[in-house]
Amino acid sequence: MPLVPMGDGADPGNAAVQRKWRSAAKLSSAVSFAEHFLSGAGFDRGPWLVVAFASGIVSWFVLDNPWQWCAAIGLCLVTVLGALAMWQGHDERSHVRTAVVTFGLMFAAGIAVIWARSTTVGAEPIDRPMVIPVQAFVLERENQPALDRIRLVLALRDAEAGRAIKVRVNVPLERASPDIAEGATIRARVRLMPPAAPMLPGAYDFARAAWFKGYAATGSVLGEIELVDRGSMGALFGPVQRRLSAHVHERLGGSAGSIAAAFASGDRGGISQDDEEAMRDSGLTHLLSISGVHVSAVIAAAYFMALKLLALWPALTLRVRLPVLAAGVGALAGIGYTLLTGAEVPTVRSCVAALLVLGALALGRDALSLRMVAVAAFVVLLLWPEAVAGPSFQMSFAAVLSIIALHNADWVRAFLAPREGGSLAWIARRGAMLLLTGLLIEAALTPIVLFHFHRAGLYGALANVVAIPLVTFISMPLIALALVLDVVGLGTPVWYLAGKSLDLLLGIAHFTAAQPGAVKLMPQISAWAFALFVAGELWLALWRGRSRLWGLVPIGAATAMLLTTPVPDVLVSGDGQQVGVTTEDGGLLTLREGRSDYARDNLLELAGVKGTPIPVEEWPGAWCTREFCTLTIQRGGRDWHLLMARNRVRVEERALAAACERSDIVIADRWLPTSCRPLWLKADRKLLDETGGLALILDGSNQHFQTVASTQGEHGWWRGGRD
């Protein structure tokens, strides 16, 4: 039957059929376009499957509660079944079909894995602060002489809850007997606190980290410690690590010795705060965390030494493939070094990647590939899925992906290809590529560093060009050689050279950090902007050809969002005791002097301010009594009147109500009566228990406040609003 033209009097049944046909045609066109794009853009499923798995894990953190997690898994499975039904009887090798099915399954698997991990290892925090006598078993010991303390992880019994719990406590160095080590049993009086939630929106979430480490509380030891039993079975690597660190400190003193101990044993406890800050602000702090540079250097040294030494044995050379044996020696060295230095996520990631490289070398395959990185990432995420939310994992893999994506580019291969010319030209090309690699890594890491730490070193690429070769080819080989020569008492000259190389490293760090504009401060990056940065970088790294340039679109959008992110006008900690007010000239006013640097540093970082904060009572125009401070600030073309409680001293209710009526914002670390009714916001104990810390934006057209609670949902580590 011929189709009836649409118009007056047309059959509505035929109109519905035509609409369906048009929809089907559009869908078919979209699928055809996607199929053409995937087939021509170098689609490699392996790395993208790991991205889908990681995205599922991230979505579990972002979504609020179990029904949303179940809904997300269900939606993935429905999508997979729909794709299988749609392509039934068609080409099963379709790129689109494969992508939808595998990505859906991996996304759902990511949610399931992190949910299972949280359920099995998550430790319910204690209900309230307490001071109690305990008899506890020492699980871990970490020396931190730079902070005049040691840190213990203890297993003890919570009498109130009737359960065994794991806690982390600090012990002053003068009360830290060497016998208090893994496997010992002690008695002590301890002050315990529930793991702290983020102090402010965007601040470090220690409660989440403690949940996945199994800590129900943190605190400190009060008074003397009684050693009940030294224990016959302790940790295998902890004492060895401490003895190695002590030996390095004996052979090499000062800051250089602390850095050498970190390289040799992973013990960073002796590094001074000044050196830590200089390494951080110069972009070199990654060298202090045992990861890719260190593990690769150890494994490469073991591999090549084994290869050369085994080649001296002709009978073995004729019967066995030496690269396979050398790879085995390198693997054992890498695994041993990883265990010795604490088996942190960056170390494990680097070890897994290096083992894959060794396997590829032994088999004669290309070792530098995105699939190798994908396998390493998948292993880490399968064992520690929570690592995806931390800066260590993100920075490690961003750096490795940047290196591989750059060196797999056709123009880079052509630039580095062997050609006629002198050694000077060869060195110049390698030097230029090293600088370009450093700049690319710095660009890739900057959004991650700003998101987590709110500051980034701008000259890190230049510093790393010198520092990475210095550490890889000079400092670490000298430290290893010195340790070997110490067996026969001949290591002193080599320790001297190692110390000089580390002094040079620290000199580079302090010089770079001291330059004007060396550090960029950024109060907050929204989760959406950060997600766009990550998506754009992954697109640039994982596609080939011109298709990868589309990754610049989300990066450009994220950059625009970053540049327009407002600086918070008022910051309020979750307990209401710490208040920071930014000034128009880039300073910060604080309500109270913090008992530690932690509160002050958090306020400065989240306000994007360098320098020393100014007490509110010293600010012109502020008026303070023993109980309250009042302050007027101008934002968005109007005046904002702040009333802030300084303590919990009771005041007459009628006077308080009158003061509240004259204020736009009232902040207090206690419950205020209902008669206190400010014009815009009453941030008292009742509200802050629900919201956690606050960041107030007082722009005239967009007045709002951000809360810690908005990023927490109903995950087990968040206690806000619970009885």
| pLDDT for the residue numbered 190 | 94
Angle between helices 370-383 and 345-363 (to 10 degrees): 140
- Report which DSSP code applies to 471: I
| DSSP codes, 474-493 | IIHHHHHHHHHHHTTT--HH
- Please compute the mean of the pLDDT values over residues 498-522 and round it to a whole number: 88
Indicate whether 660 pLDDT > 70: yes
Closest CA to 297 of 354, 374, 247: 354
Domain boundaries, the chain: 21-121, 130-235, 242-387+458-521, 527-563, 570-711
| pLDDT for the residue numbered 14 | 61
Residue 19, Cβ density class (10 Å: 0-12 exposed, 13-18 middle, ≥19 buried): exposed
The residue with tokens 């600088």 is 435
The residue among 181 and 339 whose pLDDT is bigger is 181
How many other CB atoms sit within 10 Å of the CB of residue 408?
15
Give CA–CA dist 449/455, Å, rounded. 7
| pLDDT for the residue numbered 217 | 94
How many other CB atoms sit within 10 Å of the CB of residue 364?
9
Angle between helices 292-310 and 322-340 (to 10 degrees): 140
- Please compute the mean of the pLDDT values over residues 315-344 and round it to a whole number: 78
| pLDDT for the residue numbered 23 | 52
Give CA–CA dist 359/356, Å, rounded. 5
- Please compute the mean of the pLDDT values over residues 649-673 and round it to a whole number: 91
| pLDDT for the residue numbered 20 | 53
The amino acid at 578:
Q
Residue 172: pLDDT band (50, 70, 90) is very high
Write out pLDDT tens, residues 3-16.
444 444 445 556 65
- Rounded to whole angstroms, what are the CA distances from 447 to 173, 393, 462, 479, 603? 38, 14, 18, 34, 20
| pLDDT for the residue numbered 192 | 94
Give CA–CA dist 213/167, Å, rounded. 10
Give CA–CA dist 31/65, Å, rounded. 34
Residues 671, 686: contact at Cβ < 8 Å?
yes
Write out pLDDT tens, residues 392-418.
888 888 888 888 888 888 888 888 777
Antiparallel, parallel or unpaired: β 588-590 and 614-615: parallel
Q: Does domain 130-235 have CATH number 1.10.3210?
A: no
Residue 176, Cβ density class (10 Å: 0-12 exposed, 13-18 middle, ≥19 buried): buried
Write out pLDDT tens, residues 586-637.
889 998 876 567 888 888 888 888 778 899 998 988 999 888 999 999 988 8
Give CA–CA dist 330/334, Å, rounded. 6
Instruction: Kindly report which listed range (303-312, 336-345, 535-544, 560-569) carries the lowest average pLDDT score.
Output: 336-345
